[in-house]
Amino acid sequence: MIPDKVKIETIIKELQKMMRIQDTSIQFEFKNAIEMYKHTNDNTTLAQVDFDRKHNLVRMRMNSEPDHCDGLGYGDWYYEIMHEMYHIVTDEFMTFIKPLMDGNLEGRFKEVFEEQEERLISRLADIFITTYPVTNFNHILEG
């Protein structure tokens, strides 16, 4: 079961401190499957972030209808949040490196790079949730 918006926002705040990204404002929203598709053009997306770098603002969206998703379904909301948190942590590096690649490298390399980025983010998120399981947030989840 997915926690409500307020609980997720509280958990995100705690994670921001742990990950040293308190200076970024993160706005969290649930979106139904249709709204999610409008943002991503992909009906397998469970969660997603958009960056407003000028205002140091990130909009994090989570699919509130995971059963309407063509992906692997809802593994774990905590994993999905962590995955998006690592996109925020690595954004500065990615913002630096991607334009260099766009100008200098072949399309196929860019595709492979993006796959590798997702793999790296997924591994980091896996490591985090194994090292710091969701039970650490029971004081919020059961509150």
**What does the binding site for Zn ion look like in residue numbers (CB under 5 A)?**
118
The nearest distance, CB 77 to Zn ion, in angstroms, is: 15
Nearer to Zn ion, 16 or 45 (CB): 45
- Provide, rounded to whole angstroms, the least separation between the CB of residue 132 and Zn ion: 19
Residue 29 or 118: the one with the smaller Cβ distance to Zn ion is 118
* Shortest Cβ 106–Zn ion spacing (Å): 23
CB atoms within 10 A of CB 87: 21
Strand partners, 47: 62
Nearer to Zn ion, 94 or 140 (CB): 94
Q: Name the region of 105 (left: φ>0; alpha: ψ -120 to 50; beta: rest).
A: beta
Nearer to Zn ion, 4 or 118 (CB): 118
Measure the CA–CA gap between 116 and 138, rounded to whole angstroms. Answer: 33
Return the number of the residue (115 or 118) whose C-beta is nearest Zn ion: 118
Q: Own/partner pairs for 41-44, CB < 8 Å, 24+ apart?
A: 43/68, 43/69, 43/70, 43/71, 44/69, 44/70, 44/71, 44/72
- The DSSP 8-state label assigned to residue 142 in this structure reads T
CB 143 to Zn ion: min, Å: 29
Maximum CA pair distance of the chain? Answer: 52
Minimum gap (Å) between residue 94 Cβ and Zn ion: 11
